[in-house]
Chain A
Amino acid sequence: MEDLIRYAPDLAQGFLENVKLSIVAAIVSLILGTVLVAMRVSPTPVLRAAGTVYVNIVRNTPLTLVLAFSALGLSDQLGLVFSGVPRTNSFWIVAMGLSAYTAAFVCEALRSGINTVPLGQAEAARAIGLTFMQSLRMIILPQAFRAVIAPLGSVMIAMVKNTTVAVAGGFAADAAANMKGAFDQVGASIPIFLGIVVAFMIVTMPIGYFTGWLARRLAVVR
């Protein structure tokens, strides 16, 4: 227990970085994922193909590889630099890598939401004479959004947990890196481990409960 108290400031600081990464990645990946899903359902075959290729490649690549490539490849070799300060730079490299990775899953979650709307809804919308835009805006999308709340919550929870992989992207200041540092000094300490796990649960559980509650509340009764 005294281990946890001794290292608490360090760990808390590291955990704060995880929270920051999560917030940035959540915003960017939701935007990027929406763009991707728009590409994947557009009437243009080229855009559809580009979106599909991106999603399939990114989904099937380990996040560790994505982050390591972002840091060692894009940043060191190809000179993609966000900031002159190494620490700030690696923070943004990891945030962007994580966003690019999560966006593929956001895209798939949104797409499966569109798939949950029954065909009859669209047929009925057309039958009463709604135009394409009207049926999309008033019938299809409102139902699709409701269906994606819970899956999106899962994607976001996964993303928060994935921030621990930041070490692979050369960002060695998050909770995982600090925990490793503490272990290097005092050996595997159960209190420290549990402390961090509880911290993560405090962040992820509300996301799960909130999205679950919202999804149930807004569920389309069929």
Chain B
Amino acid sequence: MSTSVLFDAPGPRTRVRNGLLTVISVVAVAAALYGIYRGFDAKGQWAGRIWQPFLQWETWTTYIFPGLLGTLEAAAVAAVLALVFGAVFGLARLSDHKWVRVPAGVVVEVFRAIPLLLLIFFIFYLAPALGGSGDYTFMAVVVGLMLYNGSVLAEVVRAGVHAVPRGQSEAAYAIGMRKNQVMRLVLLPQAVTAMMPAIVSQLVVLLKDTALGYIIAYVDLLNTGFKILPARFFGSLIPAAIVIGIIYVALNMALSYLATWLERRSRRSRKTAAAPIAAPGSAEVSVGAGGGTEDAGLAPDRPVE
């Protein structure tokens, strides 16, 4: 909805009132920012000495890049596995056979309901019992992410296939295709287009959740920023936190932007009869139900919609 229908063009009094509101809010925002600045200043957080390390290339190559690599590695491996898991279980839930459908449904529902950190802890403690001693941090993070996000993606796959209009499969059956042909040649290609934005949104969640590895001491970006760097450069905790925060936000914003772009593209797409499905508003460590069209955060803001 756009504002223009809710009220007429502002008259002189409204314009004055809006101007006043703007001035007041500028002052309020500025005051808040200044308060934060003063708080940091009082504790000496703007001292050049503690920001110094981040201007040196060695700091980046020795500490930050390896940490970032750890995060991206875990995210990439987990993403691929989660997509496979999601595809297999999503299709299994669509099966005509009860003995396939029901267990798949149970698995998906259970892994969606478990808090991810508990799952990672459990895998982390279970692994040595099964495979002898060793460093299982990477494995625990990746497997946990795979099971949880795979389950969410399974729901996305199911929703995607359901989003294809029924006439498509009816027509396919009518021209004599078999069940597997209908799925493979008609439904899935169209569903993938519709699912793409939701999948990418879920990948943002997955990337954010790799940070849980910090708790079991997996060397990721967060660990680098909060444990390794401050230990190496005394007093640099807050600068380090701000720097890695910026990296995380930039990464996720880029992915969110990709999701929005894909969604716009699939709305225009002639290749599918299905409208893009909303990102799953399922219970998870990060996604809220921001499934609206212009919700990936980068869309221009408009007043009361």
Name A's B-contacting residues (CB within 8 A).
40-50, 52, 55-57, 59-65, 68-69, 72-73, 77-79, 104-106, 108-109, 111-112, 114-119, 122-123, 126, 131-132, 135-136, 140, 150-152, 154-155, 157-158, 160-162, 164-165, 167-168, 175-176, 179-180, 183, 187-188, 193, 196-197, 200-201, 204-205, 208
Contacts and interface: CB of A to CB of B under 8 A. Distances in A.
B214 A196 contact: no
Contacts of A117: 1
A77 B7 CA distance: 49
Summarize B's interface: helix, strand, loop or mixed: helix
B113 interface: yes
Given A63-B286, A105-B288, A165 B117 contact: yes
A44 B22 contact: yes
Given A60-B252, A65-B241, A158-B286, A41 B114 contact: no
Nearest to B127: A188
A208 B293 CA distance: 23
Contact of B5 (A57, A126, A168): A126
A108 B212 CA distance: 24
Contacts of A52: 297, 301
A158 B249 contact: no
Contacts of B21: 42-44, 47
B16 interface: no
Contacts of B212: 62, 64, 165
Contacts of A132: 6-7
Interface stretch (B37-45, B89-97, B191-199, B265-273): B37-45
B125 A188 contact: yes
Contact of A165 (B237, B251, B285, B298): B285
B226 interface: yes
B129 A187 contact: yes
- Among B6, B215, B294, residue most surrounded by chain A Cβ atoms (within 10 Å): B6
Given A59-B297, A60-B297, A197 B248 contact: no
B222 interface: yes
A44 B226 CA distance: 38
A174 B291 CA distance: 31
A47 B284 CA distance: 29
B229 to A, nearest CB: 12
Given A136-B6, A176-B118, A77 B253 contact: no
B116 interface: yes
Contact of A57 (B40, B204, B249): B249
B137 to A, nearest CB: 14
B115 interface: yes
B220 to A, nearest CB: 10
Contact of B43 (A79, A111, A116): A79
B211 interface: yes
A114 B281 contact: no
Nearest to A66: B245
Interface in B1-52: 1-3, 5-7, 18, 21-22, 25-26, 29, 39-40, 43, 45
